Structure 1
C-alpha cells in the first residue's frame, strides 16, 4: 500500500510541478520575508487550477502548504571543512537549516526537513505527509549523490 501511495505521490508531483514550481518558489520566498500572514489566503490559490486539472492524486499534492519554508535539500561537493570530492546534503531554506550542519547521509537532512515543517514552518498536515513520503523515497534509493536530492525535491513537487 505504501508503494502505491508513493507512486501516486510521485506521479502527482511530476504532473503538478511544471505548473506550480514557480508559484511555490515565490510563495516560499515570501515566507522568508515573513509576508505569509499578510497575503490574504493566497497561498492555496496558485494551486487550485493545477489540482482541478490533474486529478485526485495531484489535488493531494497541491493541498500541501509548507508554510514559511522551502522544504528542499541541496547536494554539493566540497563544502567548507570537507574534501573537494566529498558530497554533502543540507536544507536549502535558512529557517530549516538553522543549527544544522551538512551531512554525508541524506536521511539526516530529510529527517530535519520533515521535523522543521512541524517545529518552525507551520506546514499543514498534507505537507507533512508528503514530506514523510519523500523521506521514504530517499531511504528506498540508498544513494548519496545529487540524484538523491533531486528525487526528494521532486517527490515534494519542486
Structure 2
C-alpha cells in the first residue's frame, strides 16, 4: 500500500512542522478549462487546495498555501514563518513559470 506525500506529517530539521499538510505547489500546462499551452499553479495537497482554482499568478497560490497552514493544517509558527519566507522569494523572483514552483517548494525543504 502506498502512502501519498500529503498524508505524511512533515517536520523539517529547522523545527517547521507543517501539520496535516504538504504545502507544495505545482505548475502544469493545459489544466481543465485552459489552453494546452497555458501554464497554471495549484497546491498539490488536497487539504491545502480546498476549493482553490488554479491560477496564472503563483503569488495567489503561495498566499493560499500559507493561509491554509493556519486554517486547516495545524502547522506550527516555524512552518508559517518559513512559508512567508518562501512566498517572498517567489514574489521577488517575479517569474510565472515552473521555476516559481521550484523556488517555493525548495524554500520549504521539498
TM-score, scaled to structure 1: 0.64
- CA-to-aligned-CA distance 1:54-100 (integer Å, 9 cap, x gap): xxxxxxxx200000000000000000000000000000000010110
Match in the other structure for 2:7: 29
> In terms of Rg, which structure is larger?
1
Q: What is the CA-CA distance between 1:30 and the residue it aligns to?
A: 3.3
For residue 122 of structure 1, report the CA deviation from its aligned partner: 0.1
Q: Which residue of 1 aligns with 2:87?
A: 135
Structure 1: stretches of 5+ with no match in the other structure: 1-24, 32-42, 52-61
Match of 2:101 in 1: 149
Q: Which residue of 2 aligns with 1:87?
A: 39
Q: Equivalent residues in 2 for 1:33-112 (5 A)?
A: 51=13, 62-112=14-64
Q: 1:91-114: per-residue Cα shift (whole Å, max 9, x none)?
A: 000001011000000000000000
**SS of corresponding position for 1:131:** helix
CA distance in 1, matches of 2:102, 2:65: 15
Q: Which has the higher helix share?
A: 1
Distance 1:130 1:89 in 2: 20
Q: For each residue in 1:31-52, what CA deviation from the matched residue of structure 2 results, as whole angstroms up to 9, or x when unmatched?
A: 5xxxxxxxxxxx65xx6xxx4x
Post-superposition shift, 1:153?
0.1
CA distance in structure 2 between the aligned counterparts of 1:157 and 1:73, rounded to whole angstroms: 13
With the length of structure 2 as denominator, give the TM-score of the two structures: 0.91
Deviation at 1:29, TM superposition (A): 2.1
Unaligned runs of 5+ in 2: none
